[in-house]
Chain A
Amino acid sequence: MLSALILVPFLVIIFLNLPLKGLRKLAFPTAAGLSLLQIIFAAFYPALFWDIQRDFLSTFFNFRFSFDAFSQMMLIAIGLVLFVSLFVARFTILDELKRFYFVNLLLLAFIGMNATVMMQDLFSLYLFLEVTAIASFIMISIHKDKLGLEGAFKYLLLSAFATVLMLSSIALMLLFSPSLNFAVIKAVVMGSPGSFIIKLSIGLFLCGLLIKSGLFPFHWWLPDAYSAAPSAASVFLAGIVTKTVGVYVLMRLFISFFGYVGYLQQVLMFIGALSIITGALLAMAQSDFKRMLAYSSISQVGYIILATGCATPLAFAAAAFHLFNHANFKSLLFVNAACVEKRLGTTNMQEMGGLGAKMPVTSITSIIAMLSTAGIPPFSGFWSKFLIVLALYAAGNYFYAGLALLASILTLAYLLTLQRKVFFGQLKAGLEGIREVGPGLITPQVVLALVIIFVGIFFPVVLHNFILPLQNIFIK
């Protein structure tokens, strides 16, 4: 049934755009229903996906997808962030036609990401990365304002550069591998891991992915794109898009064949550590809500890359788990930013202060997201960071383990600054009339906060059902 994850949203888009009256009004509930179905099936009925006997669609469509615990976790995260972004779009994009197009673009990016997390062929993977990227450019610039167009242009420019690197890498790979299937490339790479051309092609692809992930030193497009995008697009981009097209693909290729090239582990760990520190330090210097969150993203993705480079089963599982948690808490923080922006009309933190009393739900959920980001128990982020530090320590990387621990203090410092400037303290003059956002925007905040709390408190359940199977993928 894996093909359904592509075909059903595709058919929904075609249906919604039929020249019939009233279909536009169906766009939001249909897309929300699709995202919920994906979460439910991926979380509770995963056998439905990998049971080939039930896959009658494969008779007609030979998509050659594969499904494992990592894909499962990503499918849940993609569904969850789409659901939340739809709510934010519903209540922040006021023009009905624009909102309709935005939902269509969200669904197209959703297809791109679903395909990406199930792909086993490098060229097809590249194709769907492009689907997601192009949909994202349009979403960022949907209002056609100067900032949005500038952000989208920077993203487009860097993404095009990443595309050139990836395509060059694919061309080089075809010189030494008869096919672009991961298993075939793996066999070739294992046969001659020291070959210059193999190292070059993998290095080029890696650079492309680092750009797409927004990691240091390829990060400069990311704060502009996140802060210039409409709120719903920021949530979607920061929550899942860059995590899927950059970080997930990097991790997937690392366990598939990148990891057999010796030098790569040290390179990834170094870049990860550098991103953690640089992202956190730059976040501290920001006065814009969304830009601070964007730099925070760079720092948090650094943790994931650092753990991936550690290359042990526990480190890989911890990295994948942090990727999932990051999708939750960063989406929640961006939804908080969207709510504040909706009420105040700005994301400049200098113009905010004391909003906690006026917007209690936004304030409380942002504290939950902040504590989870900083790795404070019992929230979900604590467990993934704890596992990362544990894995680094167990593998003998004491310096990186210490650095990851210390960087958590930096994370807490800039997020506390954010809280102090936005929600704590005395109410800023002129903000007396501000009130909490409506139930439409409260819903996504509460949903994400509950996921963070649930994953944190019921960690043994999550560990047994989702994290331990991740280790098996790495071992295999």
Chain B
Amino acid sequence: MTIDYILLTILLLAVIWTVMTIRLIRAVVGLAIVSVIVSIIMFRLSSDLAAVFELSVCAGLISVIFITTISFTSRVSKERLRIRRKERLSKFWALPIIIIAAIIILSRYHPSLNIMLTHAVPEPDVRKVLWNMRHIDLMGQVIILLVGVFGVVVLFKEGRK
């Protein structure tokens, strides 16, 4: 149980760091850490397939895409960085306090919102569920991919001059 608390605490800190940091690269690293911790939690909850997806897609693929995109941006000056960091802190200093306070209050005064992690009940094989029972979700994902392809073509492909 102690390990669960440690994982959840690291998760919370990584989430706060991700949204509070001023540097994009650090935010992406924070996001990758979040994904890794979530994957570990999923492994501990016996949801192996979900954990593998989280690790490979979110921590791996998406982080690579983010870092590639950020590499095309330019650096801001140190002075500007310092001002923006100050602005960010002055605007959002209350955010971590609110999040932590909300979690403590909810978990203490509402026993139905127990943050203790419980192991997943063994489900039928996910592949069987997807292929035999959730046809529409598969179809939906195919269509989302198709929309994504059109998005990339429309927004990022330069027309032939």
A133: nearest chain-B partner, CB-CB: B147
- Whether A50 is near chain B, meaning CB under 8 Å from some CB there, is no
The answer to whether the Cβ of A128 comes within 8 Å of any Cβ in the partner chain is: yes
Chain B's closest residue to A136 (CB) is: B147
Quote the shortest CB–CB distance from B44 to chain A (angstroms).
Answer: 17
Check B155–A127 contact: CB distance below 8 A: no
| Contact pattern, A 88-119, Cβ under 8 Å of B = 1, otherwise 0 | 00000000011001001100100110010001
Contacts of A61 in B (CB 8 A): 135, 139
Asked if B159 is at the interface (CB within 8 A of a chain A CB), the reply is yes
Q: Are B143 and A108 in contact (CB under 8 A)?
A: yes
| Chain A: minimal CB distance from B73 (Å) | 16
Residues A51-99 near B (CB distance < 8 A) = 61-65, 97-98
Number of interface residues of B (CB under 8 A): 23
The answer to whether A131 touches B144 (Cβ under 8 A) is: yes
Contacts of B77 in A (CB 8 A): none
Q: What chain B residues lie within 8 Å of A144 (beta carbons)?
A: 155
Q: Which of B136, B139, B147 contacts A108 (CB 8 A)?
A: B147
Chain A minimum-CB-distance residue to B153: A101
Residues of B within 8 A of A138 (CB): 147, 150-151, 154-155
Chain B nearest CB, measured from A295 CB (Å): 28
Shortest A194–chain B CB gap in Å is 11
Contact between B147 and A135 (Cβ–Cβ < 8 Å)?
Answer: yes
Nearest-Cβ distance from residue A59 to partner chain B, whole angstroms? 12
**Can you name the residue of chain A whose Cβ is closest to the Cβ of B143?**
A131
Q: In the complex where A101-B154, A131-B140, A141-B155 touch, is A62 in contact with B147 (Cβ < 8 A)?
A: no
Is A195 part of the binding interface, using a Cβ–Cβ cutoff of 8 Å?
A: yes
Q: Is A112 a contact partner of B112 (Cβ separation < 8 A)?
A: no
A62 to B147, CA, bound (A): 23
* Measured CA separation A144–B155 after assembly (Å): 7
Residues in B with CB closer than 8 Å to A13 are 146
The CB with the most chain B CB atoms within 10 A, among A101, A127, A128, A137, is that of: A127
B133 in contact (CB, < 8 A): yes
Contacts of A141 in B (CB 8 A): 155
**With contacts defined as CB atoms under 8 Å apart, how many contacts are there between chain A and chain B in the complex?**
73
Q: Is A8 an interface residue (CB 8 A)?
A: no
Chain A residues within 8 Å of B132, by CB: 62
Interface: A399 (CB within 8 A): no
Q: Does B75 contact A (CB under 8 A)?
A: no
Nearest-CB residue, chain B, relative to A7: B139
Contact B147 A105 (CB under 8 A): yes
Complex: A376 Cα to B113 Cα, angstroms: 51
In Å, the complex CA distance between A230 and B134 comes to 36
**Nearest CB to that of B109 among chain A residues?**
A196
Assess whether A115 is in contact with B140, with CB atoms less than 8 Å apart: yes
B110 within 8 A of A: yes
> CA–CA, A135 to B113, complex, Å?
36
- How long is the Cα–Cα vector from A241 to B143 in the complex, in angstroms? 17
B155 touches A115 (CB 8 A): no
* A115-157 residues at the B interface, CB under 8 angstroms: 115, 119, 121, 123-124, 127-128, 130-131, 134-135, 137-138, 141-142, 144
Bound-complex Cα distance A112 to B135 (A): 15
Residue among B136, B140, B141, B151 with the highest chain A CB neighbour number at 10 A: B136
Contact assessment for A134 and B147 in the assembled complex, using a CB-CB cutoff below 8 Å? yes
Interface flag for B148 (CB, 8 Å):
yes
Note all chain A residues with C-beta closer than 8 A to B139: 6, 10, 61, 63
In the assembled complex, the CB of B140 is this many whole angstroms from the nearest CB of chain A, namely 4
- Check A197 for interface membership: any CB of B closer than 8 A: yes
| A134/B151 in contact, CB under 8 A | yes
CA–CA, A104 to B155, complex, Å?
14
Residues in B whose Cβ lies below 8 Å from that of A127: 136-137, 140-141, 144
The answer on a CB contact under 8 Å between A124 and B112 is no
Give B152 Cβ to nearest chain A Cβ, in Å. 9
Find out whether the CB atom of A64 lies under 8 angstroms from the CB atom of B136. Answer: yes
A128 to B150, Cβ gap below 8 A?
no
Contacts of B134 in A (CB 8 A): 124
| Contacting pair B143 A10 (CB below 8 A) | yes
Chain B residues with CB under 8 A of A196: 110, 112-113
C-alpha spacing A415/B121, complex, angstroms: 58
State whether B146 touches A108 (Cβ < 8 A). Answer: yes
Q: Which of B's residues lie within 8 Å of A, judged by CB? A: 110, 112-113, 132-137, 139-141, 143-144, 146-148, 150-151, 153-155, 159
Counting from the closest, the 10 A-B pairs by CB-CB distance are A127-B140, A63-B136, A138-B151, A134-B147, A197-B112, A62-B135, A124-B136, A101-B154, A108-B147, A135-B147
- Additional A-B contact list (16), CB under 8 Å, known A62-B133, A98-B154, A104-B150: A61-B135, A63-B139, A97-B159, A101-B150, A108-B146, A108-B150, A124-B137, A127-B136, A127-B144, A128-B143, A130-B144, A131-B144, A138-B147, A142-B154, A195-B112, A196-B112
